[in-house]
Amino acid sequence: MGERLPSGWERKPPIIDEIPKGVYIVQCDAGYKNGITGISTLVRTAGKEYKPQDYSRRNEGPIHAELSAICIALKRLKNIRQPVKVCIVYTDCKYAYYFLRELWVPRRDYIQEIINNIIGEINGLEDCGIEVFICHTKSTSNKRIDRRAGKKRKEEENRKRAQIDERIERVERAIIASRKIVIYEKGGEYFAISESGASTDYKVSLVPLQCECPWWTHQWGNKAQYIVKARALPCKHICALAGYLDKGVYQLFGLQIGRMD
């Protein structure tokens, strides 16, 4: 693969003046932390540089993130209206490069899945007559998009922190409202006395997490428990039962409140 490129191109992206017509240089990089990824891509061709594009994704680790960046970089070529003869994608992740060159065999299913996606993108471009090269370059050649990827990751982190703060506020409101709720036990089950004057009280449970109140039934009544445990926030009746049983609401719903997906 590298032998068919001009000397030095397999290790370092060429400058605009060196790029022939019909050849497109795509640089990509990913900034990853705690499941959140910022991705940036930069496309150049003869005498032209396209505006960098940034993305946010959820990934299983830094290598998965870098492979996702390569996949997104290849997808960008689909939106190029000018004739494309050759596409050269540069990554500064040696691990991703080794996987794509089949020098290493992935052991994780999610790595194999994203590799399959990349192969699919490459095959699609090649079916259109576009020759595709994946090259490894030094991080110094990717400084610009590395900074952009890091900035995008931080923006996404801030957005997620704001979402977490909003969830905390919703839980606090439910806890405050729960202080007016009366819980009683009957036949080994727990019930919350309805404040709305409903003819029946609401059966409520912590294991499994469920409540018969209209809000919970509408939001989570038809959802599987694994979804509830991952995403649901408590109604005031569940908060009241947690207080009745001396259980911490934030401990019970810590995963749902703090999720970053």
Per-domain boundaries in the chain: 2-155, 179-258
CA distance 28 to 59: 16
Predicted confidence (pLDDT) at residue 250 exceeds the cutoff of 60: yes
Q: How confident is the model at residue 179 (pLDDT cuts 50, 70, 90)?
A: very high
Q: pTM here?
A: 0.82
What CATH number has the domain spanning 2-155?
Answer: 3.30.420.10
The predicted structure's pLDDT at residue 1: 35
Predicted confidence (pLDDT) at residue 211 exceeds the cutoff of 90: yes
Range list of H helices, 90-201: 94-100, 109-127, 143-178
* Spatial CA neighbour of 181 closest among 198, 160, 168, 157: 198
Predicted confidence (pLDDT) at residue 44 exceeds the cutoff of 60: yes
Q: How confident is the model at residue 2 (pLDDT cuts 50, 70, 90)?
A: very low
DSSP H or E stretch at residue 238: helix 236-244
CA distance 150 to 31: 5
Q: How many CB atoms lie within 10 A of CB 206?
A: 16
Percent of the chain with pLDDT over 70: 98
